């Protein structure tokens, strides 16, 4: 683990993020998980999919 991560963790322990920031991060995470679940279940519309180029 990079030593800079320990410095960042110490800063967060001394001054944790506000509840608003925690709610925003949780909401964004929940939306991302919901999109992945909808895509895996096959309910994602075809127009919203990316066509992948074949790998050489």
pLDDT digits (tens, 9 = 90+) for 27-46: 999 999 999 999 899 898 88
What DSSP designation does 42 have?
T
pLDDT on residue 6: 92
Instruction: Tell whether the model's pLDDT for residue 20 goes beyond 90.
Output: yes
Model's pTM, two decimal places?
0.67
pLDDT on residue 38: 92
- Alpha-carbon distance of 47 to 35, in angstroms, equals 15
Structure tokens at 35: 């999109």
pLDDT on residue 47: 85
- Alpha-carbon distance of 12 to 25, in angstroms, equals 15
Cβ atoms 38, 44 nearer than 8 A: yes
């Amino acid at each position: 683990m990079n030593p800079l991560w320990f410095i960042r963790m110490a800063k967060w322990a001394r001054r944790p993020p506000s509840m608003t920031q925690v709610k925003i991060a949780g909401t964004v995470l929940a939306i991302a998980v919901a999109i992945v679940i909808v895509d895996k279940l096959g309910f994602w519309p075809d127009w919203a999919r990316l066509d992948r180029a074949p790998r050489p």
